[in-house]
Chains A and B, each alone.
Chain A
Amino acid sequence: MKKEVYNCLLCGTPLNVQVTWKWLLGNAFERTICLQCEGEFEPVDSSMDTKSDFEVCSFYQYNDKMKDYLHRYKFMHDVALAKVFRNQIRQHLSKRNEIIVPIPMHPAKLKERTFAHVDELLKAANIPYQHFLVKTTTETQGEKTREERINSPQLFELIENADVNNKEILLVDDITTTGTTIEHARKALIEAGAKSVKAFTLIKG
């Protein structure tokens, strides 16, 4: 069997994968980071966010380790890091019945980054997805203040000829802070006739 990853993708220490029955017979992806690094990511206490008026699920806290991860993945453009959370993402999303819709990037931004980071996370986890939305602005939420984010005009449009009527949708994004992005996407989909819109983000900022 050919190994894909020989060293921890985050710290470079060699990975000693133990051959177990679970590993041979199960369908979990091969480990990509060492236990030490894995231990430094902190899961969110409760996966349900009660502040929002609809369901948003998040996995991890935005601690220093996660900041470093996201920086290397999104800003240093290390696409290989899409694999780091593939087991967790698949575990969480493979049994969902809703249509998985990643939050899209603005086309100009995509050219600049060379890859769509949310799509790559899903691809790495082997989760099928569909695009219904287009981003209409190149502004990023991260550069704005809380007030500016909450009051920003609609960020998304529906893709031409997209049929979301009566569909159940699960939005996926890498990180949510104020929830503005998700809220805008949800509104656009509900207005277009979606039956329900829930959301999943890897990180709760």
Chain B
Amino acid sequence: MGIIIEPKIRDFFTGRIWTRNHTPFPQEKIDRYIERGFFKVKSAISSRVHSFGIIKMKRYHCNRCHNENQKEFIEFDCARCENKCVYCRHCINMGRMSLCTDLILWKDGFPKSNRNHVLDWTGQFTPLQEKASKELIRSLMENRNHLIHAVCGAGKTEILFPAVHYALNQGKRVCIATPRTDVVLELFPRFQKVFPQTTIHALYGGSPTQTGFAQLIITTTHQLYRFEKAFDVVIVDEADAFPYTFDESLQRAVIKAGKLDAPTVFVTATPSVKILARTKKEKWGVSFIPKRFHGHPLPVPRFEPLWNYTKTIEKGIIPTKLVQWTKERLHKNEPFLIFFPTIQLMKIATPLFESIHPDILSVYAEDSDRKEKVMKLRNEEIPGLLTTTILERGVTIKNVQVAVVGAESKIFTSSALIQISGRVGRNVQFPDGDIVYFHHGITTEMDDARNEIRRLNKMGFGREKG
């Protein structure tokens, strides 16, 4: 006896790889579908024995996150399967995957996709944006990978609109992935606005359940662990933002989430040497935009020594130069961001800044009010925000001025510093602003960041500025 497939089950599971016992549906129902063969069931961890002559080595593989780092597999005596079991520590934050956990994959066909998507956008492209947008569509037609290398504030998201529209109307399923939840939260409403008739889902840790079959998904790269051969086009925005560059398994997740031969589009202001090399070797389409959409050059950072700032702050004093900088912002009524190298240092500094102005707040990755605090700064309800590198990308605040404390710290790589500098002067009315690196010694990363910004200005304007 057959069963009638409920659309909500099919809509949800299409393209997903999910834990059998933790679905948003009643367990009996899922088990019934499994019995009838609608799902492929596989163990979350597989093991293979590799033999080198007489030496035999067992190697584990996580079927959700595709982790193969053997140090991250933990063996233990399991009371559920009453056996020696093993679990993957790599993706444990998304619920533990062990040898006795089942993953399920939807076998049945795709829901019918819509081909009548409306792009409701009336903005004007600059000639460079126009060119990049056309190049991207060409790459999608030819099914090849594409890199959009554009400076912060070049209007990267808008460049994607016509290409996404084209792909959707081809009946394709599109995914825009980014390493940062903040970027998902920023992109989602913008895409909803310009694609008013398209079902779009936004996925991130703790996102609400959304119904229907989404032909366009905006997600964190982490959530891609939960997809397999799902998308016809995968766009990775801010491709090299932490943790994407460091984490091989996240890169594998991007490949795994796409169907075989699905083109990948990388969008970034700071492409790594590796990506640039791949574009040449594998003949990707490449679009380069060295100019901001408003036609003004990128603000060039200035270096300002702040010797022994850690000790000074730990003693309960904000270094004089930093106080002056902050007071100047308050006096001129300019919103500001101050980046800190560590949460610890920022937490010590927060009450000290509160004594300068009681409304100065601080944010970090685990802060549950992160969204609201950034919103407050944008709405000019608070004068400024202390932050970790979490706000280095995707945040646009009118007329914001930026200081980096401890720019010599390891966490501030040249690409992080370029991104941070890219927060300044994004608005047509305020195309310039102060970006200062307070440091305890100048690093090559700082020099690299400043040189790259100068180089981009030179390329965009034919002469050096700033």
Measuring CB to CB, which residues of chain A are less than 8 angstroms from any residue of chain B? 6, 76-80, 110-116, 120
Contacts and interface: CB of A to CB of B under 8 A. Distances in A.
B80 A80 contact: no
A112 B80 CA distance: 7
Nearest to B95: A76
Interface in B71-93: 71, 74, 76-80, 85, 87, 89, 92-93
B79 A113 contact: yes
Which are the 10 A-B pairs with shortest beta-carbon distances?
A: A79-B76, A80-B74, A114-B80, A77-B96, A110-B79, A114-B78, A114-B79, A111-B80, A78-B92, A111-B79
B98 interface: yes
Contacts of B98: 114
Interface of B: 71, 74, 76-80, 85, 87, 89, 92-93, 95-96, 98, 100
Given A77-B87, A78-B89, A110-B79, 15 more contacts: A76-B93, A76-B96, A77-B96, A78-B74, A78-B92, A78-B96, A80-B74, A114-B78, A114-B80, A114-B85, A114-B100, A115-B76, A115-B77, A115-B79, A120-B76
A80 B89 contact: yes
A136 B44 CA distance: 33
Nearest to B82: A111
A115 B78 contact: yes
A116 B89 contact: no
Contacts of B74: 78-80
A49 B92 CA distance: 36
Contacts of B76: 79, 114-115, 120
A120 B87 CA distance: 16
A76 B95 CA distance: 7
A113 B95 CA distance: 12
Contacts of B87: 77, 79
A113 B87 CA distance: 13
A113 B96 CA distance: 11
Contacts of B79: 110-111, 113-116
Of A79, A110, A115, most buried by chain B (CB within 10 Å of CB) is A79
A113 B77 CA distance: 12
B57 to A, nearest CB: 14
A80 B77 CA distance: 12
27 contacts: A6-B71, A76-B92, A76-B93, A76-B95, A77-B87, A77-B92, A77-B96, A78-B92, A78-B96, A79-B74, A79-B76, A79-B87, A80-B89, A111-B79, A111-B80, A112-B80, A113-B79, A114-B78, A114-B79, A114-B80, A114-B85, A114-B98, A115-B76, A115-B77, A115-B78, A116-B79, A120-B76
A110 B89 CA distance: 20
A59 B123 CA distance: 63
Contacts of B78: 114-115
A6 B71 CA distance: 8
Nearest to A4: B71
A75 to B, nearest CB: 10
Of A78, A113, A116, most buried by chain B (CB within 10 Å of CB) is A78
A84 to B, nearest CB: 13
Nearest to B73: A80
Contacts of A78: 74, 89, 92, 96
Contacts of B85: 114
Contacts of A79: 74, 76, 87
Contacts of A116: 79
B102 to A, nearest CB: 14
Contacts of B89: 78, 80
Contacts of B95: 76
A110 B71 CA distance: 26
A110 B82 CA distance: 11
Nearest to B342: A36
A136 to B, nearest CB: 18
Contacts of A114: 76, 78-80, 85, 98, 100
A8 B93 CA distance: 16
A114 B95 CA distance: 13
A91 B74 CA distance: 25
B422 to A, nearest CB: 28
A78 B88 CA distance: 9
B187 to A, nearest CB: 28
Contacts of A112: 80
Contacts of B93: 76
A77 B80 CA distance: 12
A111 B78 CA distance: 8
B100 to A, nearest CB: 8
Contacts of B96: 76-78
A115 B83 CA distance: 11
